[in-house]
Amino acid sequence: MNQTPDPRASEVADAEHELARLNARIEGMRAVLVRLLQDVVVAESRVGSSEAALLVEANEQLVVSALRAQTDAVTTALALDDMSQSAQLDPLTQLPNRALLRDRFEHAIANAKRHGTRTALLFLDLNDFKQINDKFGHAAGDQALKLAAQCLQVSVRETDTVSRHGGDEFVILLAEVSQAADAATIAEKLISALGTHRHIDEHVVRLIPSIGISMYPDDGEDPDTLINRADAAMYLAKRYEAGGIVFHGEKPRVERSLQPPTLDSLRQRLVYYARTMAEHEHRLAQLQEANEQLVLAALGVQEPQVAAEPVQRRDRVPGRGVRASRAINWQRSASRR
């Protein structure tokens, strides 16, 4: 892969040049200061008190100038350190960029050689990320990238490195693993963590990555080879299975066909759809029948209540309560006979 020149490299070089110039200036002023101090000691023995006072004042001014120059040098050194550090971070996500990842990768490989351990590299791409930019805007896309960066960082160990490779691609360096299964476990953890629904403003998004993995020393012995092979494995995972994991040299377990559906597959889908619709209509008919029975039962309960209302009204008329009560008792006794 071609690497674009870092625009901050020239700024770092300029700062280093300025720091060197200031250091040379300070050393020269220190030499002058020592010489003047020696001259002051000699002059004090030769001149009167007034001339000595002038020499002391000049000496104090020289000391102040030297201290200012030293302060400027310290400030420049701090600015250089900040610029150097910021030049190694991605501006959007504040993750290590390619240059810092490569440096750490080389150290991890050297350490693995010394101790006979293994190192894994995960190349991660967010599927259908372009749709977030197209539907919700680039500001939402930037927010999604920041969320993804935070999610990846908290899902790996402190000794590991999460870097942004560019766009919606991330590279995770697992500095030390005992076997390939460990890398697969971490990759599955990353997929699960990213797959959680997240809110971006008023929108809800779900990030589904595809991950390619290369192992040191199995798949290569230098950073470029391992990165390229993990990249190729990622594209294979992206092609065959969204949210899948593929190791370099391994074929995906589930192939996602890129060909248009055949006539037989369309017929099978149509039969399945018709069967599903028939089951849905049957359940709907059962619900309608149960609803009708419920309505009829409710009406059957309501009829005796309607018939009893005139009797209840007559019972409420003054002077007729006793006769109504006797009539009801007579009807009950007659029904028993």
* Strand-strand pairing, 169-177 and 198-200: unpaired
Residues designated catalytic: 168
Tell me the DSSP string of 222-252.
SHHHHHHHHHHHHHHHHHH-TT-EEETT---
Residue 241 dihedral angles phi and psi, to the nearest 5° = -155, 115
Task: From residue 335, give the alpha-carbon distance in Å to each of 64, 213, 304, 331, 332.
Answer: 125, 90, 18, 6, 5
> Which amino acid type is present at position 253?
R
3-state secondary structure 272-286: HHHHHHHHHHHHHHH
- 32 DSSP 8-state letter: H
Structure tokens at 299: 């009406």
- Residue 235 CA to residue 165 CA, distance in Å, equals 15
Residue 87 and residue 82: Cα distance in Å, rounded? 8
Give which of 169, 30, 34 is closest to 95, Cα–Cα: 169
